[in-house]
Amino acid sequence: MATQIKFGTSGWRAVMAEEFTFANVNRAVHGIARYVASQKSNGAKVIVGRDPRFLGETFCAMAADILSSYGITPLVIAEPAPTPAISYAVIQSKADGAINFTASHNPPEYNGIKFSTPDGAPALPEATQAIEREIAAFDASPEAPRRTRGESQSQAQSIDPRRMYLSRLREIVDLDVIKKAGIKIAFDPMWGAARGYSDGLLREAGVTVATVHDTRDVLFGGHAPEPDDHLLDDLRHKMRETGAAIGIATDGDADRFGIVDEDGTFLQANYIIALLFDYLVESRGWRNGVGKSVATTNLINALAERHKIELYETPVGFKYIGELIKQDKILIGGEESAGLSIRKHVPEKDGVLAGLLCCEMVARRGGSLGQRLAGLFAEVGSFYPLRENFHLTPEVKQKFTEKLRGDPSEFYGIKVAKAVRIDGLKLVLADGSWVCYRLSGTEPVVRVYSEARSKVDLAKLSAAAKSWIFD
């Protein structure tokens, strides 16, 4: 029986040579090609790109051949490219979508396919469900499309998104401010798709940048290309060596970011989104709203209230933030899993932009990011968020799934002020703390997000959140 290919919040991902095989990639691309053809019968064109993972070039060539057989013109990117650069290229070239071979921040044995729609955004559920139906239809009748007499296959064309994307970043980021401040920056692309992008742009502007992990390595140093605290020691070392004021990092496909303060402290994405929200209101004068997933810090809620700016809370998945950006309802939108974008930019996570805006913020405001965060806490109170994963046995999962349907009036002695069901169950408690439970759709795991107003209370809340699962 053929593997069921399901597109989750960020496309389809699987382990290479297990489920991510040539046969399954063939099925997935046929499904996408059939979907695109159903949306536009003539003259369709689709960008084909990748991150630096093993066999990426081969998968791109294969996808181009399949698209061509449907009369869809493949616009092939020769070199690894950041996901946000591919997204921007879709918009600029008026393409009908993009197939991006990437497993983002997943370990090196994984690969995946992200599909973007003509607006450059991650495909919404209605599109991915339609693609899944087309895959099933192809499975039932795996024939190449019948071409009418005299109709030829569409020839692949090459496209380089780098220049247009970097040109857009120059419009957004005040590189002069960074240069005039004279700060030094360290950059870690984690062997990924942003190599030569963030640092290349800064160097061109006359900024001193030191880069680590600036070679292609399909094994990403033997671990996931995830810009998280425990994987950024080489960046910290380079910062100390060069006297850098900030360290910026991107994941395998550069849609996520990691930021290290001048003293080597890693600032979690929750805080970076809040700091940039506050900074963009001050520096750009934008006031049209802020977007965040339901699992992202309520520090953003407090800042929205202080700035008198409308707050939009979405389900988890950047595609929902992307919709708000497309409608120009928000000046910035972000998720605690290190994805953000801003108004009049791509409706897709942009780790390159996030890092560069942090550099601008440090250069313009002076002082460290930690000092700026302490300033926000002084203004609106302190917020301490945490994310944990817990594995569930089938029995516990069944029992807990039932529990999530309930409507508790209190949570370990604290009154429940509000139950939010945008995505999973979020219990907002009377003391301003909250806990959010989301069951994984792909594995027997519950993701638990919690936030309290002090570190001591967070430890208590975390223990209570775990107990509530297994009681």
- Each residue's pLDDT tens digit, 398-407: 999 999 999 8
pLDDT for 357 equals: 98
Give the bridge partners for 417, in sequence order: none
How sure is the predictor about 150, in pLDDT bands with cuts at 50, 70 and 90? very low
pLDDT for 441 equals: 74
pLDDT for 212 equals: 98
Tell me the C-alpha to C-alpha distance, in Å, between residue 153 and each of 38, 74, 145, 201: 17, 11, 11, 38
Query: Which one has a higher pLDDT value, 297 or 147?
Result: 297
| 11-14: long-range pairs with CB below 8 Å, 24+ | 11/100, 11/102, 11/112, 11/113, 11/114, 11/115, 11/122, 11/123, 12/112, 12/113, 13/103, 13/104, 13/106, 13/110, 13/111, 13/112, 14/110, 14/111, 14/112
User: Which amino acid makes up residue 160?
Assistant: D
Does the structure show a pLDDT above 60 at 279? yes
**3-state DSSP call for residue 442?**
coil
Beta-carbon contacts of 148 under 8 Å, excluding residues fewer than 6 positions away, are none
The count of other CB atoms within 10 Å of the CB of residue 163 is 9
Q: Which CATH class is domain 164-380?
A: alpha beta
CA angle 343/255/35 to nearest 5° reads 85
Phi/psi region, residue 365 (left: phi>0; alpha: psi -120 to 50; beta: rest), is alpha
Give the bridge partners for 290, in sequence order: 311, 332
pLDDT for 271 equals: 98
CA 183, chain centre distance (Å) = 27
Least confident of 27-41, 108-122, 144-158, 303-317: 144-158
Beta-carbon contacts of 155 under 8 Å, excluding residues fewer than 6 positions away, are 68, 73
Q: Say if CB 361 and CB 355 are below 8 A apart.
A: no
Does the structure show a pLDDT above 80 at 147? no
Does the structure show a pLDDT above 80 at 396? yes
**What does the pLDDT look like over 179-219, one tens digit per residue?**
999 999 999 999 999 999 999 999 999 999 999 999 999 99
Does the structure show a pLDDT above 90 at 9? no
pLDDT for 426 equals: 97
**What does the pLDDT look like over 85-112, one tens digit per residue?**
999 999 999 999 999 999 999 999 999 9
Q: Where in the chain is the domain with CATH 3.30.310.50?
A: 384-470
Pairwise CA distance, residues 289 & 281, whole Å:
10
Q: Say if CB 92 and CB 164 are below 8 A apart.
A: yes
- The stretch 386-415 carries a mean pLDDT of 94
- The stretch 121-144 carries a mean pLDDT of 92
| Total residue count of the chain as it appears in this document | 471
**Domain 384-470 annotated CATH 3.40.109.10:** no
pLDDT for 3 equals: 85
The owner of tokens 């939108």 is 333
pLDDT for 153 equals: 72
- The stretch 424-442 carries a mean pLDDT of 93
**What does the pLDDT look like over 322-354, one tens digit per residue?**
999 999 999 999 999 999 999 999 999 999 999
Q: Which two tokens stand for residue 385?
A: 């968020």
- The stretch 319-323 carries a mean pLDDT of 93
Q: Which CATH architecture has domain 12-160?
A: 3-Layer(aba) Sandwich (3.40)
Specify the DSSP element, H or E, that contains 161. none
pLDDT for 289 equals: 98
Does the structure show a pLDDT above 60 at 148? no
Pairwise CA distance, residues 56 & 218, whole Å:
10
Q: Where in the chain is the domain with CATH 3.40.120.10?
A: 12-160, 164-380
Does the structure show a pLDDT above 80 at 268? yes
pTM of the predicted protein model: 0.96
Mean pLDDT taken over the chain: 95
Pairwise CA distance, residues 430 & 448, whole Å:
19
CA 141, chain centre distance (Å) = 35
Does the structure show a pLDDT above 90 at 377? yes
pLDDT for 251 equals: 98
**What does the pLDDT look like over 347-359, one tens digit per residue?**
999 999 999 999 9
The owner of tokens 């380079």 is 238
